[in-house]
Amino acid sequence: MLEIGIKGHQETIVGENNVATNVGSGKVKVFSTPMMIALMEKAACLSIEPFLEEGQSSVGTHVDVSHLSATPAGMKVWADSEVVAIDRRKITFSVKAYDERGLIGEGTHDRFIINIDKFQTSAQNK
């Protein structure tokens, strides 16, 4: 059952594939803000998947985060999420990201529960 308090966790190592210079978000080789947000979204998304009905998934609709500290290549980073509010199909998460030295980002993230087939059909018919 989907409920407040469900937690998620995802981690990765900062490498060439997720630094700012290689994702178009800057000219420095540090963990990029877009990839930090993607890690936060992944933690949130995967945390609620076991609680959804067959044929359902969730899509991200809003992200409000601050990137607080740079992380160099080679360092481990991770994101934690927690469901803090449920309003019908809208799920709100508290999200935080860390590296081996501490907190690097935090904020909130909203996802909506969708029917995969209906959503995909609607998107294809745009």
41 noted as active-site residue: yes
* Three-class SS state of 71: coil
Given 33, 82, 92, 108, which residue is catalytic? 33
Residues 56 and 114 sit within 8 Å (Cβ to Cβ): yes
109 noted as active-site residue: no
**Secondary structure of the chain: what % helix, strand, coil (to 5)?**
30, 45, 25
Pairing mode of beta strands 90-99, 102-115: antiparallel
3 noted as active-site residue: no
Residue positions annotated with a catalytic role: 33, 41, 67
